[in-house]
Amino acid sequence: MANKVNKAGSISRRRLLTTVSAGAALAVSPFRINLLQAEEAPIKIGFPVPLTGPYGAEAQDQVRAGQLAVAQFNDAGGLNGRKAELVVRDDKLNPGEAATRTLELVEKEKVNFVVGSLSAAVQLAINNVTKERGVIFNSISQSDAINEAADFSKYTFHEALNPHMTSGAVGRYAFAKFGKKVAFLTADYAYGHEMVRGFLEVGKEFNVENLGDIRHPLGTTDFSTLLPRLQALKPDILCISNFGRDQQIALKQATDFGIKKSIQIIAPLLSHASRVAAGPQAFEGVVGGCSFYWGIEDKFASTKAFNDAFRKMYDGKLPTDYGALGYGGVRTVLEAVKAAGSVETDKVVAALEALKYDYYKGPQYYRKCDHQSVQSVLVIKSKSKDLRNESDVFEVLSTEEPNEKYLRTCEALGHKS
Amino acid sequence: MAGLSFDLIALQLFAGLALGAIYVLFAIGLSLIFGMLTVVNFAHGAFYMVGAYVGLYLISIGGNFWICLVAVPIAIGLFGLAVERVLIRPLYGRGIDYPLLLTFGLSYVMVECVRIAFGKTGYPFDTPEILQGAVDIGVGYFPLYRLFVIGATAVVLLALWLFLEKTSFGLIIRAGARDPQIVRVLGVDVSKVWLIVFGIGTAIAGFAGLLAAPLQGVIPEMGGTILAEAFVVTVVGGMGSIGGAVLAGLLVGVVVSMTSLFAPEMAKVSIFALMAVVLIVRPQGFFGRAGLMS
């Protein structure tokens, strides 16, 4: 046994020596740059996101900001002159489609990394493919399951918030302020289920009473038959855990039904792109969470720099929450590539684990056991008056600072401590 | 969950009828075109979506919702006339699947064109100011705009009924649907009749799209979901029967609403369960003529 280990060790040492000497020879050669440019393909980052379908608005922002991270990396000289490239695919918000596209990205496009997804369910399908093929996947969409030992692999990173953190932050704010009787309207898939679980968990600290949870399928366009029942429950708080177009329509119709008159609506996540697509009336007064809002630029230099670069690239447009995740997801991987000086998976994994970064929203790092990005959660409220520009949509009510105590423990997730 | 009061059940029933009114309005155009032309118009959802976008455009250039109520059906109706004349007419007499495939493809082209012109992202569509808010209907509060939609649907149905039953042109349309051969022998230009029927059907689709816009906003894919539901309504009501579409639309609305009350997860499935039951008991639907598809 010991023999074997030694043998393996000596081989890798020999290999290392060859590589180093070859590299050194190349480094002194006058043809170095030419050779690199001629022979080295770009660093490819596969980017499967649901461009069409109910989450399309958010997905397009993910792509825009992802492109910005790539452009910045390339403008700064890339990896010793080697440029990066984003390979975008439409996963249509469908796990099967996403798995096929990801497999294609890995096998045919030979991408070095995969960043992307926008669905608690679809990202698990992508993760299944990447983990099997040993490709790094940085997910930029909410999920609790992806942190858990069953789905996790050392190649899995999670730049987005997870439902536990998000609902925790929003719940701590809302239950203290608006009341203890809560009813839920929930998208019937992983995202909604994980959010409700998170709310009920934090609700225990506040003795919250759960009046009922009505679930609707993803892609519902009419909530008129669900709203009277919710209204009849007479809650203090109606918690609507859905996303994208579902969120837009649910809030619009809840407003039409006059629910806001007597009930405070909260949402685990308020999406910037959805607020813009639905208009100010529908979202007015709704309290929710988010991972990023451009307005925190007064607080963080990194946010200001990110906003300015985004504005410059996209005619004065400001980045959204999910856009920022696209940026963060791609940039962390590329910075890790730079730190590792290589695109080799194991080295980049180590570099990502070692990263202490502040690229767009204040300090963050990937927790060692589950590669969850430990970061702040913003609690925001949607405004409808005194809007300074078309991106002036939210007001930041409070910030939950990055702290591992707001995450589920590594042991609870099934990781060995 | 907490107990069911009489008011809640009554309100739920009403919500179902209101939802049904939207299904009826959408399905009626589909049913009209099928009944008269035996064309299964898969582009019906796309006409509906374009109707909403035309309304959005008219409002952005200074129009208002009331102007749109008139202008949108006219614009979409004219568009429908052009589609019938150029694309559908050459396919008459070639079997039911030809126009079906054509309109199926056309719907993709229309959705893609709207994506190019307006972008993939949706737009908000504000409810006209005087129709905003909820009113007390005795058993609870209900959005005023939804009441308006019920009224608008009733007006469209009444106008359509008067047109088909009480005018001489309506008589020709009904005769043409029953036996085009004889109508042609009598010296009537049947192709003109079909042209107008297609135009009316698409105009109603555009009108329905405009009315749906303040309920859910505007997005290129908005015609897709409702098309499936409208086909259920048409099949349950009987392909080609307008009275059947009205009854089935309201029934589907109430079934969805009542299922939502007791088992919300089953609401979407309940529509198809209803269709399956009806098809087993009465394969031609409530008022359908047997053999129309053959």
Residue A9 has pLDDT above 50, yes or no: no
Nearest chain A residue to B217 by CA distance is A278
Residues of A in contact with B19 (CB under 8 A): 222, 224-225
Q: Which of A33-42, A349-358, B225-234 has the lowest mean pLDDT?
A: A33-42
Other Cβ atoms closer than 10 A to B160? 17
Looking at CA atoms only, how far is residue A187 from chain B in angstroms?
A: 10
Looking at CA atoms only, how far is residue A227 from chain B in angstroms?
A: 9
Backbone angles phi, psi at A302, to 5 degrees: -65, -35
Cα distances (angstroms) measured from residue A304 to each of A241, A295, A308, A311, B281: 30, 9, 6, 10, 66
Angle of helix B242-262 relative to helix B6-37, nearest 10 degrees, comes to 150
Q: Say if the Cβ atoms of A60 and B16 lie within 8 Å.
A: no
Please report the pLDDT score of residue A7 as a whole number. 44
Residues of B in contact with A281 (CB under 8 A): 124, 126
Residue A24 has pLDDT above 70, yes or no: no
Q: Which of A406-415, B97-106, B154-163, B164-173 has the lowest mean pLDDT?
A: B164-173
Q: Say if the Cβ atoms of B19 and A277 lie within 8 Å.
A: no
Residue A252's contacts (CB-CB under 8 Å, 6 or more residues apart) are A278, A281, A282, B215, B216, B217
Please report the pLDDT score of residue B240 as a whole number. 76
ipTM of this predicted complex?
Answer: 0.87
Looking at CA atoms only, how far is residue A56 from chain B in angstroms?
A: 6
* DSSP bridge pairs for A117: none
Which of A234, A222, A238, A144 is CA-nearest to residue A185? A238
Whether residue B67 lies inside any domain: the answer is yes
Residue-averaged pLDDT of chain A: 90
Only one residue has tokens 């958010």, namely A58
Cα distances (angstroms) measured from residue A110 to each of A45, A96, B94: 9, 20, 48
Q: Say if the Cβ atoms of B127 and A222 lie within 8 Å.
A: no
How far is A148 from A135, CA to CA, in rounded Å? 18
Angle of helix B222-237 relative to helix B190-216, nearest 10 degrees, comes to 120
| Best residue of A221, A251, A275 to probe chain B, by most B CBs closer than 10 Å | A221
pLDDT category, A28, cuts 50, 70, 90? low
Only one residue has tokens 């079909």, namely B194
Q: Say if the Cβ atoms of B256 and A225 lie within 8 Å.
A: yes
Long-range contacts of residues B272-280, Cβ cutoff 8 Å, at least 24 apart? B272/B232, B274/B232, B274/B236, B275/B232, B275/B235, B275/B236, B278/B235, B278/B236, B279/B235
Looking at CA atoms only, how far is residue B240 from chain A in angstroms?
A: 26
Whether residue B291 lies inside any domain: the answer is no
Number of domains in chain B: 1
CA atoms lying within 13 Å on the CB side of residue A81: 9
Q: What is the pLDDT of residues A124-161, one digit of tens each?
A: 999 999 999 999 999 999 999 999 999 999 999 999 99
Whether residue B230 lies inside any domain: the answer is no
Using a CB–CB cut-off of 8 Å, the residues of B that contact A are 1-2, 5, 7-8, 11-12, 15-16, 18-19, 22, 120-124, 126-127, 132-134, 140-143, 145-146, 215-217, 219, 221-222, 225-226, 256-257, 260-261, 264-265, 267-268
Q: For chain B, give the number of residues.
A: 294
Out of B2, B22, B219, name the one closest to residue A245 (CB). B219
Other Cβ atoms closer than 10 A to B168? 7
pLDDT category, A357, cuts 50, 70, 90? very high
Q: Say if the Cβ atoms of A277 and B261 lie within 8 Å.
A: no
How far is B79 from B134, CA to CA, in rounded Å? 35
Q: Are strands A136-139 and A364-366 parallel, antiparallel or unpaired?
A: unpaired
Whether residue B45 lies inside any domain: the answer is yes
Whether residue B265 lies inside any domain: the answer is no
Only one residue has tokens 């209900």, namely B142
Whether residue B25 lies inside any domain: the answer is yes
Residue B7 has pLDDT above 90, yes or no: no
**DSSP structural state of residue A336:** H
| Radius of gyration, CA atoms only, chain A | 23
Selection from A67-71, A116-120, B132-136 with the highest mean pLDDT: A67-71
pLDDT category, B190, cuts 50, 70, 90? confident
Q: Say if the Cβ atoms of B217 and A216 lie within 8 Å.
A: no
Which of A151, A162, A148 is CA-nearest to residue A129? A151
Q: Say if the Cβ atoms of A224 and B15 lie within 8 Å.
A: yes
pLDDT category, A6, cuts 50, 70, 90? very low
Which of B19, B43, B46, B23 is CA-nearest to residue B33? B43
Q: Say if the Cβ atoms of A233 and B2 lie within 8 Å.
A: yes
Please report the pLDDT score of residue B285 as a whole number. 87
Looking at CA atoms only, how far is residue A179 from chain B in angstroms?
A: 18
Which of B261, B267, B263 is CA-nearest to residue A231? B261
Q: Are strands B134-136 and B141-143 parallel, antiparallel or unpaired?
A: antiparallel
Whether residue B163 lies inside any domain: the answer is yes
How far is A176 from A39, CA to CA, in rounded Å? 60
Whether residue B4 lies inside any domain: the answer is no
Nearest chain A residue to B10 by CA distance is A228
Residue B2 has pLDDT above 70, yes or no: no
The range of the structural domain enclosing residue B132 comes to 15-221
How far is A273 from B217, CA to CA, in rounded Å? 14
pLDDT category, A8, cuts 50, 70, 90? very low
Out of A53, A273, A277, name the one closest to residue B124 (CB). A277
Cα distances (angstroms) measured from residue B12 to each of B5, B17, B131, B152: 11, 9, 21, 21
Please report the pLDDT score of residue B48 as a whole number. 96
How far is A14 from A20, CA to CA, in rounded Å? 10
Please report the pLDDT score of residue A46 as a whole number. 97
Out of A229, A278, A281, name the one closest to residue B8 (CB). A229
How far is A326 from B159, CA to CA, in rounded Å? 52
* Cα end-to-end span (Å), chain A: 27
Which of A166, A118, A172, A170 is CA-nearest to residue A375? A166
Q: Say if the Cβ atoms of A216 and B264 lie within 8 Å.
A: yes
Which of B245, B160, B143, B147 is CA-nearest to residue B196? B160
Q: What is the pLDDT of residues A388-413, one digit of tens each?
A: 888 899 999 999 999 999 999 999 99
Q: Say if the Cβ atoms of A229 and B134 lie within 8 Å.
A: no
Residues of B in contact with A56 (CB under 8 A): 120-121, 219
Q: Say if the Cβ atoms of A212 and B124 lie within 8 Å.
A: no
Q: What is the pLDDT of residues B48-99, one digit of tens each?
A: 999 999 999 999 998 899 999 999 999 999 999 999 999 999 998 888 889 9
Out of B11, B120, B133, name the one closest to residue A228 (CB). B11
With beta carbons less than 8 A apart as the criterion, state whether A190 and A241 touch: no
Residue A353 has pLDDT above 80, yes or no: yes
